[in-house]
Amino acid sequence: MAFTYAYPHPAVATDIAVFTLRRGALHVLLIERGGEPFLGAWALPGGFVQPEEDLDACARRELQEETGVEADVLFHFANFSAPARDPRERVISVAYLALMPSDELRVAGSSDAAQAQWFPIGDLPPLAFDHEEILRQALANLGARARGVTLLFALLPPRFTLSQLQAAYEAVTGEEAEKRNFRKMVLGLDCVRETDDFAHGSHRPARLYEAAA
């Protein structure tokens, strides 16, 4: 089957930088490419937009198909449109940033992706296409937005301790926070509600909070 147009049309794809926290460290989800070009190289999950879906739906679908995960938070942050960024044909990449809680770690491969795997952001393999640049910008964007705190909820389970939230904040922004000031800031933002339950670890139990409103 062939599709013909009077003027040249670019291909349009979404690429998704999915982040999670594992053992306190920020990780990104990569796939090993199962086809040319860059066969065998690691890349961000993503793929071409279908005629009947918008770009958000495309990002969600590709993520599900290639890695088996569904992100709570998923939003567009930049486009990449250099004419020769893909050697096959002209492909405009619509880049998405996604976040998910650390316990949903079941990842699966597919026909396009030989395998999917979490990598700590400090220890990445070389990436296909211009995906290193996309990832760099995704990290910068995430760091800037994390200051608002509410985005971080997407990296944590539905109920979390303030210490967990602070650890997420520090992992994402790269800056250390003072415990008391951080708690004051978060509680003053009115973005969490305390529950009556506590997390029991190996020491004093910590009160569990959940996202407010």
Report how far residue 49's alpha carbon sits from residue 56's, in angstroms, rounded to the nearest whole number: 10
Question: 88 or 180: whose CB is closer to DNA?
Answer: 180
Element (H, E) at 59: helix 55-67
Residue 24 binding DNA, by CB under 7 A = no
CB atoms within 10 A of CB 49: 19
Residue 195 binding its own copies, by CB under 8 A = no
Question: 91 or 186: whose CB is closer to DNA?
Answer: 186
Token pair in block for residue 176: 């250390």
Residue 51 binding DNA, by CB under 7 A = no
Beta-bridge partners for 76: 96
202 binds, among DNA, its own copies, none (CB under 5 to 8 A by kind): DNA
Residue 90 binding DNA, by CB under 7 A = no
* 4 CB burial (10 A radius; 0-12, 13-18, 19+): exposed
Beta-bridge partners for 194: 209
Residue 122 binding DNA, by CB under 7 A = no
Residue 161 binding DNA, by CB under 7 A = yes
Report how far residue 173's alpha carbon sits from residue 56's, in angstroms, rounded to the nearest whole number: 26
Token pair in block for residue 84: 């020769």
Binding mask 180-199 for DNA (x = CB under 7 A): xx-xxx--x---------x-
Token pair in block for residue 88: 């096959």
Report how far residue 105's alpha carbon sits from residue 42's, in angstroms, rounded to the nearest whole number: 18
In the complex, the smallest distance separating the C-beta of residue 157 from DNA, rounded to whole angstroms, is 14
In the complex, the smallest distance separating the C-beta of residue 55 from its own copies, rounded to whole angstroms, is 4
Window 81-100: residues binding its own copies (CB under 8 A) = 81-83, 89-90, 92, 94
Residues contacting 2, CB < 8 A, separation 6+: none
In the complex, the smallest distance separating the C-beta of residue 105 from its own copies, rounded to whole angstroms, is 30
25 binds, among its own copies, DNA, none (CB under 5 to 8 A by kind): none
Report how far residue 72's alpha carbon sits from residue 70's, in angstroms, rounded to the nearest whole number: 7
Residue 204 binding DNA, by CB under 7 A = yes
In the complex, the smallest distance separating the C-beta of residue 189 from DNA, rounded to whole angstroms, is 9
Footprint of DNA (CB under 7 A): 161-163, 178-181, 183-185, 188, 198, 200-207
